[in-house]
Amino acid sequence: MNFRQFEALYWIGRLGSFHAAARQLRTSQPAISARIRELELELRVLIFERADRRLRPTAKGLELLQYAERVVGLAQEIRDRIGSPQSLSGRVRLGVTPLSAISWAPALIENLAQSAPAVTVELVVETSDVMRGQIERGEIDLAVVLGSVETPRLRHEALGTLAMGWIASPRLRLPEDGVSAADLASVPIITDRPGTHLYTSAMNWFREQGAAPLVHHGCSSLPTRVRMAALGLGAALVATSAAAEEIAAGRVRVLATRQPVPAVACVLAWPEAGFSAEARVVAELVRLVITEQGGIEG
């Protein structure tokens, strides 16, 4: 028996399939199957059986899963207490929004190179809605997402809030002060695609004030949304800090709305199954870098 066998067994039990365990451990499904087969041959027991196309542990398998959890937990405890960031190595897939990728993420990677040089961060730049699904499927290890995390399959902690606002080109000639939802609804609106957190927030904002946009442009790219607003294609709902350059140049202005736009929660999210030692170090650095830069709110 060896640790790799119990590690495979642990993740199969946590994630429910050989395929998901292979993804978590960044190996192939045949490799995971081989580890379980070796363990079965050595112990002369059947660990899993398939019924109605579902993977179920046998009675002996359930006993072994308890041992696997203890073995993996003990290994993690050893890493946490005796190991150091400098001794860790491997890759961590970190999901970030486009704004994070150009704000605090460079400082994170620079900090990581000094504190844990053998750990590599692979950035996955996506919308928050996409990243939630990627974490659940084991495609990324952790992510900094905007909005709420309402699934029991993910754990999360608050990092702060992000100031949001409507921006538009002066050429749209919207009121200088006290812009109403009806005023905004008369011009094209630019948010993310329907079904995303940003789109839902925008539509709720209008609905609460008894208005509805006549035209909606859906765009998943934050820089493109800002650029579209600067070109006069509509009013865009964005993190105001993301449009700082366009605002300073006078190409767009932040609209003073009668009803303020609520700030968006920013959270660190990771799988319910927990962190690897490397991902734990990256998570700690995410908290540190964001704190050093004065928080999320912009």
Q: What is the pLDDT of residues 224-261, one digit of tens each?
A: 999 999 999 999 999 888 899 999 999 999 999 999 99
Map out the domains of the chain with their CATH numbers. Answer: 3-82 (1.10.10.10), 87-160+265-292 (3.40.190.10), 164-261 (3.40.190.10)
**Distance of alpha carbon 234 from its chain centroid, rounded?**
28
pLDDT at 294: 62
Q: What is the pLDDT of residues 182-209, one digit of tens each?
A: 999 999 999 998 988 889 999 999 999 9
Q: Would you say residue 99 has pLDDT above 50? A: yes
CA–CA distance, 280 with 274 (Å, rounded to integer) = 9
Both structure tokens of 209: 């004030």
Q: Is the pTM of this model over 0.85?
A: no
Both structure tokens of 29: 């499904």
Q: What is the pLDDT of residues 75-97, one digit of tens each?
A: 776 666 555 556 677 889 999 98
> Burial of 128 by CB count in 10 Å (0-12 exposed, 13-18 middle, 19+ buried)?
buried
Closest listed residue to residue 158, CA positions, set 267, 283, 290: 267
CA–CA distance, 294 with 298 (Å, rounded to integer) = 9
pLDDT at 298: 39
Q: What is the pLDDT of residues 157-185, one digit of tens each?
A: 998 888 899 999 999 999 988 899 999 99
Ramachandran category for residue 67: left, alpha or beta (phi over 0 → left; psi -120 to 50 → alpha)? alpha
